[in-house]
Structure 1
Amino acid sequence: GTAWAAREQKLVYWHLPTFTKIADEVIRENFEEFRKSAGLSDSEAAFVKISGKDFIPQINAGLETGNLPDVVWLNESLIQLYRSQGRMMDVTDIVDDMKGFEGGIFETSLAAVTHGGKAWGVPYALNPWPMHARVDVLEKHGLDYPRTWEAFVETCKIVQDKPFYGFGLDLGLNTDASQNIMQILWCHGGFTADDNGTAAFNNAGNIAGFDFINSMYNDAGIIPRGVVGNSESSWNNKMYQAGQVAFVNNPTSIYAHLVSNDPELQAKTGLFSVPAGPAGAFNQIDTWSTGIFNTAPEPELAKGLVKAMMDPAKYNEVITKTNGRWVPVYPKLFEDPWWTSRPQYGEFSNIAKTGVPVSYKGQPSPGMGEVLSTNLVPEALQTVLVDGVPAADAVAKVADKIAAIFERANG
């Protein structure tokens, strides 16, 4: 398009902060190293830092004007959304190279980027959602980490002493809430889409899960009541970091934050697989991938940068510097002393192997991305929690909305 005519850069990379300064610095150094090796001058290559808050608005603006980055990190639903709009470059060759590395790459990460037998993004990191638990509080009461949801509720009742609550379950209108809720629905046999990716939210498991969350919120009283008014995804991070709750289910951004900012609380924090419900224990993982927009003026340069980023030795340095924030897509890298010397991450490689995406049982899809960004699931659950709508009615109603989105967005 004409928007590109004004662009002097041959390579533009948008960088989303990784939660640890040191990892960001290593990524920056690797970018510079690639720039020099590719013979690009300073003005021919741009490393642009974009905050998480501004990211989607800026991408959307770029989609309108054609002024997009070449290389960017995207979560799984966005890779599939932009792929469905014909905007992503086919990167199957890069992913095939990665599969050739000793031990290959985690199969779970491939679901996020593939469609029609091709890869439309390069899996960069797995983001597990373990339960963060105050092990000091459990020990004080002579309790072990609860391995079933029923035991979890009883444990919360014992350890809480309001305003210190048992469970910082996000139930507000934000994407973390959708993910927190889904994880509990799966444990009760629920799912959003069937194996073929068709919307199928109206099922007994989701109704049981809505009822169970309602009982935790209204009957057991283990969740802070004000959470329904929360619109920020960082609510549970803040609650846990402020010492106001015993348990939160979240990516390890919380733990990585504590490593740098509150080693005392970090020492009291354990990371666990989620408890099991009637259908078992389902751990969520999401996959961050590197995408290349097909508007990139120099496709080989863009691909070269991504290949350099995924070089196992360089990549391992970034991953280990994120303080456990991210799990490597190469299983072999779990043999690095960084992981083997930290037993608190012992459950991680299993979570990475067995985890499911938020779109379960379907693959990540544009429709699921829209369900997340419109907060339909927490909105439906709130009618149960606040207005007393029966779970079956709330599930049936939102299932119709989800089906309509899937039909339109997934085609």
Structure 2
Amino acid sequence: MKFSISRSRRALAAVALGSALALTTTACGDDGSGSGGDKGAEGSGTGKIVFWDNNGGVRTDVWKEIIADFEKANPDIDVEYVGIASTEYQSKVDTAIQGGGLPDVGGVGAAMLAGFSAQNALEPLDERLGRSALKGMLNADMVASMKAAGGGDGTLYSIPTSANNGVLYYRTDLFQKAGLDEPATWEKFYEAAEKLTDAKKNAFGYTIRGGAGSIAQAFDAMYGQSGITSFWDGDKTTVNDPRNVAALEKYAALFKKVTPAADLNNDFTKMVAQWDSGTIGMLNHNLGSYQDHVKAFGAEKFRGIPQPVGAAGKRVQVSNPVDGLGLFKSSKNKDAAWKFIEFALSHAENSKFNESAGQVPANTQAAQDTWVGKAEPTKLAAAALTDGSTTIVQLPYYLPDWNTISKADNEPNFQKVLLGTMSAKDFLDGLAEQLNEAQAEWNEQKG
């Protein structure tokens, strides 16, 4: 079965160059629009800037609080907030890179960083950070992750705001009633998923993510069960290793057997809302939905624990991308835009954002705040990543094609696996073919 890569690094570079040349013959307005070839300007450090939130609707309220704080501290700068759903964000930015209309500042997580930087859309931030009060105040590992994801040249194109981690949420009240142990191993996870299911009463053991964002969650289940600890074996991916194929077959077989049928099209917001409003035993998501569950159940009716451990007693999980803020090169007011980034990453504001999101702060002072220890999933996730119990399989965010391959190209195919119209082996073989081709092209570009 032949799968083609819809977008290559070489094509991205060519499109970006074409857009840059087009701008030499097309007048641009003063609204900050432009493409990846537009160098922008520092500006006066005052006036209006536009901020695109890459998780609009979910993080809107806390960003509006941060913006209000910023405008109070900087009355000569006005921030226009634009919230964009996470499922639509990359395509919105890609369209704006080619057609104009980029914001001054936007959310730029590690997973989409290489694609944007390959189109020359982002301002390098190493020098700005080096002159900033933030120098030395950001988590070094998060900064290193952003540099590694930026396309391989070691340049920092996004300032990290937070780190996420995979979490298995489970309803302690339902587990206690059923006499089940905590799902700390994959064996106990599958046992609980089956025992908690009573479809006639609309009770299910698990909710599986079949819509947008499904691939990373499936990878967690695959590598977590197989115990494979590297995404690459030389220049060939391990995604279609027979052990991963077997793991995905077992995981996908949960659909409609112990999960709601609606899971086929559920992105994370629908999946989380479904879990919070129903009688579903378990949910795989990340730290970001913790506060939603607290609001729905109260902290006493659920727990959020690190991903299950495998048969060998070790936990293997895929890397969760660091989120951050990028400064778009086409901005006509970079000075003011950078002030906003600095402010958002200050101790108080970064703590406010991450307490709302339930994630690990990038600001090292914020990471010491008392709420971090009180939010159990955040505390447990931080411990799991530092106590030697967890091996992280690093996903290839550095590949410009990564986000397209792992989302648009293959989420529909994963749905076919859930429906039983495509085998897990065919799905993973096709995915591996795309990844190996992207890696070979990446190596060629590096020389």
Under a length normalisation based on structure 2, what TM-score does the superposition of the two structures give?
0.76
1:181 equivalent among 218, 223, 228: 218
RMSD over aligned CA atoms reads 3.2
Quote the Cα distance in structure 2 between the aligned partners of 1:226 and 1:314.
37
SS at match of 2:124: coil
Query: Which residue of 2 is the match for residue 30 of structure 1?
Result: 69
2:94 paired with 1:60: yes
Unmatched 5+ residue regions in structure 2? Answer: 1-22, 33-46
1:72 equivalent among 92, 101, 106: 106
Quote the Cα distance in structure 2 between the aligned partners of 1:363 and 1:195.
17
Query: Which residue of 1 is the match for residue 315 of structure 2?
Result: 281
Quote the Cα distance in structure 1 between the aligned partners of 2:302 and 2:206.
14
SS at match of 2:322: strand
Question: What pairs with 1:105-120 in structure 2 (closer than 5 Å)?
Answer: 105=139, 107-108=141-142, 110-114=144-148, 115-120=152-157
2:353 paired with 1:318: yes
Identity rate, percent: 16
2:406 equivalent among 353, 372, 385: 372
- 8 Å contact from structure 1 (residues 74, 289) kept in 2: yes
**How far is 1:292 from its partner?**
0.9
Quote the Cα distance in structure 2 between the aligned partners of 1:204 and 1:122.
38
Quote the Cα distance in structure 2 between the aligned partners of 1:216 and 1:54.
28
- 8 Å contact from structure 1 (residues 106, 331) kept in 2: no
1:201 equivalent among 218, 239, 258: 239
Unmatched 5+ residue regions in structure 1? Answer: none
**For residues 227 and 22 of structure 1, do their structure 2 counterparts lie closer, same or farther at Cα, with a shift above 3 Å needed?**
closer
Quote the Cα distance in structure 2 between the aligned partners of 1:144 and 1:109.
38
Quote the Cα distance in structure 1 between the aligned partners of 2:28 and 2:235.
37
Quote the Cα distance in structure 2 between the aligned partners of 1:197 and 1:35.
50
Under a length normalisation based on structure 1, what TM-score does the superposition of the two structures give?
0.82
Deviations 1:174-226 (A, max 9, x none): 22x112101011211357842777645332342132232145448xx323345
**How far is 1:377 from its partner?**
5.7
Query: Which residue of 1 is the match for residue 82 of structure 2?
Result: 49
**How far is 1:290 from its partner?**
0.4
2:260 paired with 1:224: yes
2:370 paired with 1:337: yes
Count of residues in Structure 1 that have an aligned counterpart in Structure 2: 392
**How far is 1:367 from its partner?**
2.0
Query: Which residue of 2 is the match for residue 164 of structure 1?
Result: 203
**For residues 309 and 195 of structure 1, do their structure 2 counterparts lie closer, same or farther at Cα, with a shift above 3 Å needed?**
farther
SS at match of 1:291: strand
Q: Which of 116-125 and 47-56 deviates more?
A: 47-56
Deviations 1:332-385 (A, max 9, x none): 43331222334454303235658888x835344322211222251661573475
Quote the Cα distance in structure 2 between the aligned partners of 1:352 and 1:364.
22
Quote the Cα distance in structure 2 between the aligned partners of 1:34 and 1:4.
31
**For residues 385 and 21 of structure 1, do their structure 2 counterparts lie closer, same or farther at Cα, with a shift above 3 Å needed?**
closer
- 8 Å contact from structure 2 (residues 206, 283) kept in 1: yes
Question: What pairs with 1:129-148 in structure 2 (closer than 5 Å)?
Answer: 129-148=166-185
Quote the Cα distance in structure 1 between the aligned partners of 2:196 and 2:407.
34
2:273 paired with 1:238: yes
Query: Which residue of 2 is the match for residue 349 of structure 1?
Result: 382
Q: Which of 347-356 and 309-318 deviates more?
A: 347-356
Quote the Cα distance in structure 2 between the aligned partners of 1:298 and 1:196.
44
Quote the Cα distance in structure 2 between the aligned partners of 1:194 and 1:364.
13
SS at match of 2:436: helix
**How far is 1:166 from its partner?**
0.8
Q: Which of 11-20 and 305-314 deviates more?
A: 11-20
Quote the Cα distance in structure 1 between the aligned partners of 2:292 and 2:143.
25
Quote the Cα distance in structure 2 between the aligned partners of 1:31 and 1:112.
25
